[in-house]
């Protein structure tokens, strides 16, 4: 066997592989909203940036107030993640931004949405959200209660690598509107919504006959999902993220960090993205919202050796 051609090809390919540019992911945070430690879009993304700083193959850029500072930032972007207000206040619904994002989607750019950003309006944006990320919050269909979601089982998927079942309290939106037949949509986080989630009266976000019937019948509710598109792009939706302190949960945080890598077509490590955050990290970069600024929990002092013997 003549191995020289193969060795030569490998030698030629190796330099380009070693110098391959990392995937560029744009984090676009919305304007300040809600109270302290709620909807901390910018602080949440800055926490993700810290966690991903040493991850190979990816580089992140943070843009604030709902759009990029310079649209040249979109050049060579592998993925975009939006964490912002939604409904009529969704920043991507302004002007001709949907068309601009749509052009990027046609090129296979990934798109992920966190919390309120999963809600466009039915009149504008919902069709695109179903195409781009596979699902969306729909008024008078989906609901937004705060509840303890117990994720007892996780599917086998790159996004769930290294993630263990977990339980957290958040404003977990559910009864989402998905693509017809869940085409190319993989549920990632699924839980049973308790009857207490239906304690509110019917309204655009609080309740409706269809969701009441679903909860009564014990229908599983998907609150995070991953989707693929015919153009080769990927998308995800994560309906939690109202409570900033939820990112303290190692498994919840790892799940979203994994999803960001997957979105950008970067190989997710076998054990997922490992990261650690401190109380100082959690209280850093919060939006100025008035009132007393929360402080990091005081560190417990280690007992002195002499005290330990008493």
* Domain carrying residue 59: 20-308
97 falls within a domain: yes
63 falls within a domain: yes
Residue 278's pLDDT band, with cuts at 50, 70 and 90, is very high
CB 200 within 8 A of CB 206: yes
> What pLDDT was estimated at residue 307?
42
Q: Average pLDDT in the 118-135 region?
A: 99
Report angle CA 239, 274, 300 to the nearest 5 degrees: 95
> What pLDDT was estimated at residue 289?
85
> What pLDDT was estimated at residue 189?
99
Q: Is 83 helix (H, G, I), strand (E, B) or coil?
A: strand
**Which residues neighbour 69 within 8 Å (Cβ) at sequence distance 6 or greater?**
63
The b/e string for 232-266 (b: 16+ C-beta within 10 A; e otherwise) is ebbbbbbbbbbbbbbbbbbbbbbbbbbbbbbbbeb
124-127: which pairs have CB atoms within 8 A and are 24 or more residues apart? 124/93, 124/98, 125/90, 125/92, 125/93, 125/98, 126/177
> What pLDDT was estimated at residue 290?
74
14 falls within a domain: no
Of the candidates 30, 45, 29, the residue with the CA atom closest to the CA atom of residue 281: 45
Report angle CA 182, 189, 185 to the nearest 5 degrees: 20
Residue 133: φ, ψ to 5°: -120, -5
Of the candidates 124, 133, 101, 86, the residue with the CA atom closest to the CA atom of residue 26: 101
Residue 305's pLDDT band, with cuts at 50, 70 and 90, is very low
Is residue 15 predicted with pLDDT exceeding 80?
A: no
Is residue 293 predicted with pLDDT exceeding 70?
A: no
122 falls within a domain: yes
CA 47, CA 60: separation in Å to the nearest integer?
12
210 falls within a domain: yes
206 falls within a domain: yes
User: Domain tally for the chain?
Assistant: 1
* Percent of the chain at pLDDT exceeding 70: 87
Query: H or E stretch including 62?
Result: strand 58-63
Of the candidates 127, 35, 55, 47, the residue with the CA atom closest to the CA atom of residue 81: 47
226 falls within a domain: yes
How many of the other CB atoms lie within 10 Å of CB of 176?
Answer: 24
3-state secondary structure 118-166: HCCECCCEHHHHHHHHCEECCCCCCECCCEEEEECCCCCCHHHCCCCCE
Is residue 287 predicted with pLDDT exceeding 80?
A: yes
> What pLDDT was estimated at residue 309?
38
CATH of the domain at 295: 3.40.50.880
Is residue 277 predicted with pLDDT exceeding 80?
A: yes
Q: Average pLDDT in the 164-192 region?
A: 99
pLDDT digits (tens, 9 = 90+) for 228-242: 999 999 999 999 999
Q: Is 227 helix (H, G, I), strand (E, B) or coil?
A: strand
CA 247, CA 264: separation in Å to the nearest integer?
21
Q: In DSSP terms, which residues pair with 62 in a beta bridge?
A: 27
pLDDT digits (tens, 9 = 90+) for 39-82: 999 999 999 999 999 999 999 999 999 999 999 999 999 999 99
Is residue 19 predicted with pLDDT exceeding 90?
A: no
Q: Average pLDDT in the 266-294 region?
A: 92
């Amino acid at each position: 066997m003549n191995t020289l051609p193969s060795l030569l090809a490998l030698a030629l390919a190796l330099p380009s592989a070693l110098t391959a540019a990392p995937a560029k992911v744009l984090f676009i945070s919305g304007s300040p909203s809600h109270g302290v430690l709620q909807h901390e879009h910018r602080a949440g993304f800055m926490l993700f940036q810290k966690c991903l700083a040493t991850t190979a193959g990816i580089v992140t850029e943070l843009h604030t107030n709902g759009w990029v500072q310079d649209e040249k930032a979109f050049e060579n972007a592998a993925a975009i993640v939006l964490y912002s207000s939604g409904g009529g206040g969704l920043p991507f619904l302004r002007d001709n931004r949907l068309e601009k994002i749509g052009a990027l989607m046609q090129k296979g750019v990934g798109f992920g949405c966190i919390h309120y950003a999963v809600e466009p309006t039915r009149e504008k944006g919902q069709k695109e959200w179903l195409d781009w990320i596979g699902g969306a919050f729909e008024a008078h269909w989906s609901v937004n209660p705060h509840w303890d979601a117990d994720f007892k089982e996780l599917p086998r998927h790159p996004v769930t690598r290294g993630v263990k079942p977990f339980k957290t309290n958040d404003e977990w939106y559910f009864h989402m509107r998905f693509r017809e037949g869940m085409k190319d949509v993989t549920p990632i986080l699924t839980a049973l919504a308790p009857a207490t989630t239906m304690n509110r009266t019917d309204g655009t976000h609080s309740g409706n006959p269809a969701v009441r019937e679903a909860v009564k019948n014990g229908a599983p509710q998907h609150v995070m999902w991953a989707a693929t598109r015919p153009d080769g792009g990927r998308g995800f939706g994560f309906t939690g993220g109202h409570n900033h302190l939820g990112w303290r949960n190692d498994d919840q945080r790892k799940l979203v960090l994994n999803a960001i890598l997957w979105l950008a077509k970067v190989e997710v490590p076998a054990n997922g993205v490992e990261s650690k955050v401190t109380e100082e990290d959690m209280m850093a970069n919060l939006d100025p919202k008035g009132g007393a600024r929360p402080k990091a929990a005081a560190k417990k002092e280690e007992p002195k050796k002499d005290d330990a013997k008493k």
